Structure 1
Amino acid sequence: MAAPCSLWMALVLLGALGVLPAPARASEQHSFQQDQFLGRWFSVGLVSNANWFREKKDILSVCLVVVAPAAPEHGQGVLSLTTGFLRGDEYETRSVLLTPMDTPGHYTYNSIYSGRKQDLWVETDSEYALLYTVWGTDESKFHLATLYSRTETLQDPAVKDKFTDFATAKGLPKEDIVFPPNTGKCM
Structure 2
Amino acid sequence: MAARRTLCLGLVLLAAVGVLQSQAQAPVPVQPDFQQDKFLGRWFTAGLASNSSWFREKKAVMSMCLSDVAPMAEGGFNITTTFLRKNQCETRSLLLQPAGSPGSYSYISPHWGSTYSTWVVETDYQEFALLYSEGTKGPGQDFRMATLYSRSQTPKDELKQKFSTFCQAQGFPEDAMVFLPRNDKCLKEQD
**Superposition TM-score, scaled by structure 1 size:** 0.79
Residue equivalent to 2:123:
124
**What is the one-letter code of the residue matched to 2:123?**
T
Structure 1 unaligned spans of 5+: 1-20
Name the stretch that deviates more: 121-130 or 38-47. Answer: 121-130
Corresponding residue SS for 2:107: strand
Residue equivalent to 1:97:
95
Q: Measured at CA, do residues 87 and 141 of structure 1 come closer, stay the same or move farther in structure 2, by a change above 3 Å?
A: closer
- TM-superposed deviation, 1:30: 2.1
- TM-superposed deviation, 1:147: 0.4
Say how many residue pairs are matched.
Answer: 162
Is the counterpart of residue 149 in structure 1 residue 147 in structure 2? no
Higher relative contact order (CA 8 A, sep 6+): 1
Quick one: percent identity of the two aligned structures?
47
Please give the alpha-carbon distance, in whole angstroms, between the structure 1 residues aligned to 2:76 and 2:29. 20
Cα deviation code 1:137-180 (max 9, x no counterpart) = 684421100101001111x2100110011111111113321012
Please give the alpha-carbon distance, in whole angstroms, between the structure 2 residues aligned to 1:35 and 1:89. 34
Residue equivalent to 2:58:
56
Please give the alpha-carbon distance, in whole angstroms, between the structure 2 residues aligned to 1:88 and 1:167. 28
- TM-superposed deviation, 1:62: 0.5
Q: Which residues in structure 2 correspond to 1:164-179 (within 5 Å)?
A: 164-179=164-179
RMSD over equivalenced CA pairs, Å: 1.8
Residue equivalent to 1:18:
none
Q: Which of the pair is proportionally richer in helix?
A: 2
Q: Measured at CA, do residues 92 and 140 of structure 1 come closer, stay the same or move farther in structure 2, by a change above 3 Å?
A: closer
**What is the one-letter code of the residue matched to 1:169?**
A
Please give the alpha-carbon distance, in whole angstroms, between the structure 2 residues aligned to 1:42 and 1:132. 16
Structure 2 unaligned spans of 5+: 1-20
Is the counterpart of residue 112 in structure 1 residue 110 in structure 2? yes
Residue equivalent to 1:133:
133
Please give the alpha-carbon distance, in whole angstroms, between the structure 2 residues aligned to 1:90 and 1:179. 21
Corresponding residue SS for 1:135: strand
**C-alpha contact 2:117 2:135 (8 A) present in aligned 1:** yes
Q: Measured at CA, do residues 89 and 168 of structure 1 come closer, stay the same or move farther in structure 2, by a change above 3 Å?
A: closer
Q: Measured at CA, do residues 39 and 94 of structure 1 come closer, stay the same or move farther in structure 2, by a change above 3 Å?
A: same
Q: Which has the larger radius of gyration?
A: 2
**What is the one-letter code of the residue matched to 1:179?**
F
**Superposition TM-score, scaled by structure 2 size:** 0.78
Name the stretch that deviates more: 38-47 or 78-87. Answer: 78-87
